[in-house]
Structure 1
Amino acid sequence: MAHPNRLSNARVLVFGGTSGIGFGVASLAASQGAYVIISGSKQPKVDDKVALLRSYYPSIPKEKITGHAVDLLDTTNHESNITALFDKITENGEKKLDHIVFTAGDFLHLPKIDTVTTDGALAGFSIRFLAPVIIGKLIATGKWMTTAPSSSFTVTGGTNTKRPMKGWFLGAAWGASIEGLMRGLAVELAPVRVNMVEPGAIDTELLQGFFATIGKEVVQQMKATNGLLGTFGDPSDVAEAYGWLMRDYNVTGTIAATDNGRLLTGVQLSGSFREAAEKRDDRA
């Protein structure tokens, strides 16, 4: 039989969909005829990226590409804010979601081992870990997502969990918590499928911001030592991993690695990358 386009008319919500990997996933889903909803922290940016995405696919009806802001840093109101978003985009559960992709995150502040505090150690969990916990809770109700293997929830990790750079010990811990959460939710939410994408260095707006602060020589060093391919990944590359996890109804509890072979290399990147990170404070 003819191979089906499993994203055609699927309803796909992308948290962090206004930039980088999340925007790449939204573009992939739109290209396959899905109903795409992107979410970010600020409505003006969401509106701009909805307009941009629509411009890429002018033949697609505008109602198939929409966006709504939600503040995931507001941990006190996580459940009420995400519930309100789900009610709005599903018309109170009448039009259920088929897939949720989570790429959101505030900018990482990475304390050094000799200056870390309890609050600093906990900060990285607010969006990357706590928001997916609440999303999992809401999926479990069955109100907003179809309870079937055709549905999926995909979270985002990173290679620093397995090969942390110096100064990234907390980043490794935060990433490991997401991996553990993914496996636990795969059991709790079955038959809804739960998986994780594990990107390496991806050429996003965030990485371009780093490049502006660390100098061309360090950028070239990073490119040469980042993995086996002598380059950085593109958001459109990584989007394919999320596409697989959405389309394959037989995969759950799995990590899709798209890392340029970084885990096979023996070179550690310089601390300049972490130092550049400390100078910036951006949000998706």
Structure 2
Amino acid sequence: MSYNPLELKGQKIAIIGGTSGIGYGVASAFSAEGCNIFIMSPTEARVSKAVAGFKSTFPDVTTAGAILDVRSEESIFTALQAIAPVDHIVFPAVDNMFGGPLAEMDNDKVADYSQVKLCGSMLVGNALAKFDIISLVEASS
């Protein structure tokens, strides 16, 4: 059987920030396709609640979770190495720092957002480059 990169069933997907919002929706879509999902977020209660919800809704796929703080290199490296290898990583993580209109953002909120979105995604990329996190399957022609 040849490798089909569009066939998602059975693949292991790590979703950093999959406990609510777009991340939860992405995790739901992958689960509906038969993917095994791994939800990561900085709050144990949110991870547990999300994992329980997915296990109830999608009992035929493997669902697990872990605590991961995208502001911490150690947290990222530890969490990703513990679940490796994975087939795909999705990074919809956003902190709950936007509690009001965009016009009310200040420098501190912009810095916090940058820490999560820019630095966090770069540290995830760094972990991918340093460790065998992603399953690399060569497509056959």
Question: What TM-score do you get using the length of structure 1 for normalisation?
Answer: 0.42
Percent of residue pairs bearing the same amino acid type? 27
Q: What residue identity is the alignment partner of 1:40?
A: S
Change over 3 Å in CA distance of 1:112–1:143 after alignment to 2: same
For CA contacts below 8 A with separation 6 or more, give which structure has more relative contact order: 2
Segments of structure 2 that go 5 or more residues without pairing to the other structure are none
For 1:68, the aligned partner's letter is A
- Map 1:1-284 onto structure 2 (within 5 A): 6-58=7-59, 60=60, 64-72=62-70, 75=71, 78-90=72-84, 96-106=85-95, 107-108=97-98, 110=102, 112=104, 116-117=106-107, 119-147=108-136
CA offset digits 1:149-202 (Å, max 9, x no partner): 88xxxxxxxxxxxxxxxxxxxxxxxxxxxxxxxxxxxxxxxxxxxxxxxxxxxx
Q: TM-score, normalized by length of structure 2?
A: 0.81
Distance in 2 between residues matched to 1:79 and 1:105, nearest whole Å: 17
How far did 1:129 drift?
1.1
Distance in 2 (CA, whole Å) between partners of 1:125 and 1:84 is 22
Q: Does the 8 A contact of 2:41 with 2:66 survive in 1?
A: yes
User: CA distance change for structure 1 residues 120 and 55 in 2, over 3 Å: closer, same or farther?
Assistant: closer
Give how far 1:71 is off: 2.3
Residue 187 (structure 1) aligns with:
none
What's the counterpart of residue 227 of structure 1? none
> Aligned pairs, how many?
132
Higher CA-based Rg: 1
The amino acid of 1:69's aligned partner reads: I
Distance 1:43 1:112, change over 3 A: closer
User: What per-residue deviation string (whole Å, max 9, x for no partner) do you get for residues 48-101 of structure 1?
Assistant: 11111111123x15xx111112223xx3xx2111111012212xxxxx111111
Note if contact 1:14-1:38 (Cα within 8 Å) is conserved in structure 2.
yes
- Contiguous gaps of at least 5 residues in structure 1: 91-95, 151-284
Distance, in Å, in 2 between the alignment partners of 1:35 and 1:88 is 15
